[in-house]
Amino acid sequence: MTIRALVVDDSMQLRRSVMYALQRIGDIVCVEAQDGAEAIKKFQSGHFDIVLTDINMPVLDGLKLTAHLRSDPANAALPIVIITTEAAEEDRERALKLGANAYLIKPVKAQEVLDTVQQLLKLAPIP
């Protein structure tokens, strides 16, 4: 089964770093979006198994994207991972309250991203 991941961040470098980490899973297709608005457009043309998003982005931020995705019952079980520089506990609580499943602080290690995605998608760990 191919996993479809949507990686949303205004930094191309971070998107590429996250996608590189995810490639270790194997049968995965990563799709990029520069902000929440572009991510919503990508959702309109396809299904995703997991979303990894930054909070601070132009046009539509990651918290608004999370709230938007959670407003659709079809996305109730969709794993959403926030990857951000916002380290305050209030920010974490707000993201989780809006429906995020995990909250990672930048700079994030590739293994941390991989472990989080494997756990949320219930995949066997990669040695």
pLDDT tens-digit profile of 67-111? Answer: 999 999 999 999 999 999 999 999 999 999 999 999 999 999 999
Q: Is the pLDDT of residue 29 over 70?
A: yes
Percentage of residues in the chain with pLDDT exceeding 70?
98
Q: How confident is the model at residue 3 (pLDDT cuts 50, 70, 90)?
A: very high
Q: How confident is the model at residue 127 (pLDDT cuts 50, 70, 90)?
A: low
- State the pLDDT at residue 48: 97
Cis peptide before 125 (omega within 30 of 0): no
Backbone φ and ψ of 20, nearest 5°? -60, -45
Domain boundaries, the chain: 3-121
By the 10 Å C-beta count (0-12 exposed, 13-18 middle, 19+ buried), 11 is classed as middle
- State the pLDDT at residue 26: 85
CATH of 3-121, one of 3.40.50.2300, 3.30.420.40, 3.40.50.10420, 3.40.50.300: 3.40.50.2300
Region label for 48, one of left (φ > 0), alpha (ψ between -120 and 50) or beta (otherwise): beta
- State the pLDDT at residue 125: 74
- For residue 24 the two structure tokens come to 């270790």
Q: Is the pLDDT of residue 124 over 90?
A: no
